[in-house]
Structure 1
Amino acid sequence: RRAEDEPGAVAGRLRAEDVARTPNHSPRPEGRSGAGGGRAPLAVGAAKAGALLERQLTLARTRAHSAALQALGSARFHAVADQVAVLASEVPLAKAAGGVDLRPPADTARERLVAAVAALPLVTAGSPYNAEALMHGLSPDPAPHPQDAPWHQVRLLLRLHRYAQEVLDPAAGDDPRLRAAGEALDRHRDAAEAAAAAAQAARTPRIAPATAYALGVLHAGQRHEVEAARYAFQRAWQKPPAGTP
């Protein structure tokens, strides 16, 4: 399974060629750009937007890599590694460990997931398009989108629930319903982070209007992908569980 907060996860979605797919037209043509070799200003803006994203994401990957190397060399990491090695050498921890009932903690994980899903606006997610969700992303506020955090929490709880199910019954952890819901939430996380990266790049001082416009188109497309992923999760979650008659 993919590690949480994997460095470069957003870079996989925001490549230069993705930005270059921006339609080469504008409601009010601004003429030709000599610097673009005769290309329309919007095409030049898309190329510059791609280059800007590449620079910012490369810098973010470099910083994440440096932080990871620093953490791996820290005394805290070595202390944890030593404790894990000692713990592994003492397995089984007790003679009665094999008879421990793991169903109560698994039930707790399921209840937390159900409660978190119940708090989601699934009625809104019942439509593949939610224009209201775009309002915050189009504002100058750099804070994360307020609607994303509960969905990210459900994603983490769903993973925990699936792990618990796999411990109790390996076949139960491969429930097609839960797998489809998890895949939808993975797409949701990636699209939300991609939209946030595009919005952050658009706030770069003194960028050309065509570049900002291309980043705005990319941001809007990723927010639409967020809504599509929520719709897919809602459809998957409302299906009856595996084995239900």
Structure 2
Amino acid sequence: GAAGAGRSGDDARDPDSGPGSGFAAGGPRPGSRARAAGARPAPDRSHLAVGAAKAAALLERQLTLARTRAHSAALQALGSARFHAVADQVAVLASEVPLAGRATDIDLRPLADAARERLVAAVAVLPLVTAGSPYNAEALVHGLSPDPAPHPQDAPWHQVRLLLRLHRYAREVLDPAAGDDPRLRAAGEALDRHRDAAEAAAAAAQAARTPRIAPATAYALGVLHAGQRHEVEAARYAFQRAWRQPPAGTP
């Protein structure tokens, strides 16, 4: 009784703190363990789902606005004097078909070689060593900054995509069967995926800069942006693997 009276009121009311309970020497108590577990509620993902829905709606509004502006600009260009001048020149050119017989004697190989050399020079500028790594952390640094400018690493890859198409077209003119090189086709498909992922990441970053958006919406846009930048890196990795393959017909 004297020992019980000497304890504090909380200890006296706690049946697990008495002698012989096994918890009086500073060990964990079942009651405290249950209270600690109760202090951690199950993660509620409803706000993340709401943020993802709001992010999708925000992207849809911005893309619809951009599509409407592009449509208006295209209609304005179709009604311009410059477009009508080009249309008149195309009509005159079509009236002169078939071309003169001497046109078949023109050697187009120097032009095709020039297109190939431009492509090779553009690919030489690309960081293929970095693209050979499965993960490039430098590609995410710019996307996390408040700078709305396009990603500085994307422009050279977009330029290579255009030059690769020009090279394939030139090969098809010289030899229709040579234009379907599996190596060049795989490289072109990788660069197409690169372009789509880069534009998707840029759209997500632009939407995330919208003032006064909810934190959950910004988080969903950040996840989307990071995922698309990883797709960019995957496409670069696929391109460098395809480009380093031996050309078709090489023994």
> What is the TM-score with the length of structure 2 in the denominator?
0.82
- Name whichever of 90-99 and 126-135 sits farther off: 90-99
- Out of 101, 114, 124, the position equivalent to 1:118 is 124
Report the structure number with the largest CA radius of gyration. Answer: 2
Deviation at 1:94, TM superposition (A): 2.9
Deviation at 1:30, TM superposition (A): 11
Superposed, which structure 2 residues align to 1:145-164 within 5 Å? 145-164=151-170
Question: Gaps spanning 5+ residues in structure 1: where?
Answer: 1-27, 33-38
Q: Distance in 2 between matches of 1:86 and 1:40?
A: 63
- Secondary structure in 2 matching 1:166: helix
Report the equivalent of 1:24. Answer: none
- Out of 164, 170, 178, the position equivalent to 2:184 is 178
Code of the residue aligned with 2:206 in structure 1: it is Q
Instruction: Percent identity, please.
Output: 92
Deviation at 1:142, TM superposition (A): 0.9
Q: What is the CA RMSD across the aligned residues, in angstroms? A: 1.6
Residue 53, structure 1, aligned to residue 59, structure 2: yes
Code of the residue aligned with 1:40 in structure 2: it is S
Residue 131, structure 1, aligned to residue 134, structure 2: no
Residue 228, structure 1, aligned to residue 198, structure 2: no
Q: Distance in 1 between matches of 2:182 and 2:101?
A: 36
Q: Deviations over 1:61-118 (max 9, x none)?
A: 1111111111112121111111001011112443310010000000000000001001
Superposed, which structure 2 residues align to 1:1-245 within 5 Å? 40-245=46-251
- Secondary structure in 2 matching 1:145: coil
Code of the residue aligned with 1:233 in structure 2: it is F
8 A contact 1:31–1:41 mirrored in 2: no
Q: Distance in 1 between matches of 2:244 and 2:70?
A: 38
Aligned residue pairs, count: 212
4+ aligned runs moved over 4 Å, structure 1: 28-32
Q: Distance in 2 between matches of 1:192 and 1:214?
A: 17
8 A contact 1:199–1:215 mirrored in 2: yes
- Secondary structure in 2 matching 1:207: coil
Q: Distance in 1 between matches of 2:178 and 2:134?
A: 29
Q: Deviations over 1:1-47 (max 9, x none)?
A: xxxxxxxxxxxxxxxxxxxxxxxxxxx98976xxxxxx621111110
**Which one has a larger percent helix, Structure 1 or Structure 2?**
2
Report the equivalent of 2:21. Answer: none
Q: Distance in 1 between matches of 2:142 and 2:66?
A: 24
- Secondary structure in 1 matching 2:205: helix
8 A contact 1:148–1:192 mirrored in 2: yes
- Name whichever of 152-161 and 124-133 sits farther off: 124-133
